Amino acid sequence: MTVAAYIELALYHPELGYYARAARRSGRTGDFFTSVDVGPLFGELLATQLAEMAEILNSEFGIQNSFDLVEAGAGNGRLSADILSAARARASGFYDSIRLHLSEVSPRARAAHASTLGDHAGRLVWSDAALPGSFEGVLIANELLDALPVHQVVMRERGLREVYVSGRPAIGTEDLALTEGPVSTPALHEYLERLGVELQPGWRVEINLRAVQWVREAARRLRRGFIMVIDYGHEARELYSPTHAAGTLTTFSRHQSTGPESPGVPAWLQSPGNQDITAHVDFTSVRAAAEAEGLQTLGFMDQTYFLLGLLPPEFGERQSIRNHGESTGAPTARTLRRGVGVRNLKTLILPGGLGSTHKVMIFGKGVGTPALRGCSYRMRVT
């Protein structure tokens, strides 16, 4: 089977898959750490951007009383719960307009949506593995695309070859092995040709056809509004370069990451169904897929600069986070005034961590080119 087929089984098999067997996989007691695990601050800052987007739709296009908030790869719904709590505290009108749609493939995670949302459960109108058929508002995909199954290819002197998994994953890793063969679909050649990528002999890379398909489908279902993709990855010129010539396929288990540099049988081929498998996102192809469906790229930046643009005014150049004193009383300011809030903010924005590894790409459809608050630092990527 292709590496993509193997990952599909290992992560998403309805009974044995890694994500299917638990409602939550991240956090201190999980296998990896996300921005949501830092605390409610991430959702609170996102709520600031979403409220602005809702205002744009309301004031410019006369959309009233209904704002579709769609979260793809929602897990148990913690991020949306944080967003809703902030919206209710800060802008009750915006909160009342929200129709929440949670898309999540794990049945156990979907079963936890109502309890996670608590008294926000009345906002929930959709809880399903698929995206809603049509919506008008904002779609958020936070660390979704990196978890989609990828094909792995390797360049040899004779040309491009695809990596395949042979054996029976249900029995044990001793029966699994890698082999090379002709590419399973011409789409892999076409993907690299579109990018103008020339792999050198020995380079091993991943190609995420599913991410392109997902973006195109999401764009078609969005009638008007925004799509926000938050993930770790690179532009194609960096992803397909000597820097990543061994690939980026990585596992996470108990907060330990084992990448392509591991000797012998690769870590991602071991213990299927018991660990996360992920690969870096090709943002060049994500952008091209969205624009091919009529979306306009409004911003692309490190998470650091996106979140800095969403901080309240009192955290400007004249006053550092460290010496911040009294505030205007906005929920974000009250949170940051506490020591834990400052620590959490640093975790979200400091370079070398979530702030620089995670990128934010925002698209618009039928909304023109608004100067979004989160894009106030413009196209800034490290």
Chain length of the chain:
382
Cα angle, residue 182 at apex, residues 159 and 174 outer, rounded to 5°: 115
> Could you identify the residue written with the tokens 């081929």?
269
Task: Provide the 3-class DSSP secondary structure of residue 143.
Answer: coil
Decide: 311 and 47 in contact? Cβ < 8 Å: no
**Separation CA 296–CA 369 (nearest Å):** 8
Decide: 259 and 250 in contact? Cβ < 8 Å: yes
Decide: 273 and 21 in contact? Cβ < 8 Å: yes
Instruction: For residue 59, count CB atoms less than 10 angstroms from its CB and return exposed for 0-12, middle for 13-18, buried for 19 or more.
Output: exposed
Residue 217 backbone zone (phi > 0: left; psi -120 to 50: alpha; other: beta):
alpha
**Spelled out in words, what is the top-level CATH class assigned to the domain 3-156+160-375?**
alpha beta
**Separation CA 348–CA 346 (nearest Å):** 5
> Could you identify the residue written with the tokens 């990596």?
163
**Separation CA 138–CA 374 (nearest Å):** 14
Instruction: For residue 231, count CB atoms less than 10 angstroms from its CB and return exposed for 0-12, middle for 13-18, buried for 19 or more.
Output: buried
**Separation CA 368–CA 164 (nearest Å):** 44
For helices 209-221 and 186-195, give the axis angle rounded to 10 degrees.
Answer: 80
**Separation CA 290–CA 215 (nearest Å):** 6
CA distances for 287 relative to 197, 267, 324, 362, angstroms: 16, 30, 38, 9
Residue type, 89: A
All residues at 6 or more sequence positions from 274 whose CB lies less than 8 Å from its CB, including other chains: 18, 253
Helix (H) or strand (E) holding 50: helix 41-61
- pLDDT tens track of the chain, all 382 residues? 999 999 999 999 988 888 887 656 655 656 666 888 888 999 999 999 999 999 999 886 655 679 999 999 999 999 999 999 999 999 999 999 999 999 999 999 999 999 999 999 999 999 999 999 999 999 999 999 999 999 999 999 999 999 999 986 554 445 788 999 999 999 999 999 999 999 999 999 999 999 999 999 999 999 999 999 999 999 999 999 999 999 999 886 654 566 665 566 788 898 888 888 999 999 999 999 999 999 999 999 999 999 999 998 766 543 443 333 333 334 455 555 555 577 888 888 887 777 788 999 999 999 999 999 999 986 678 7
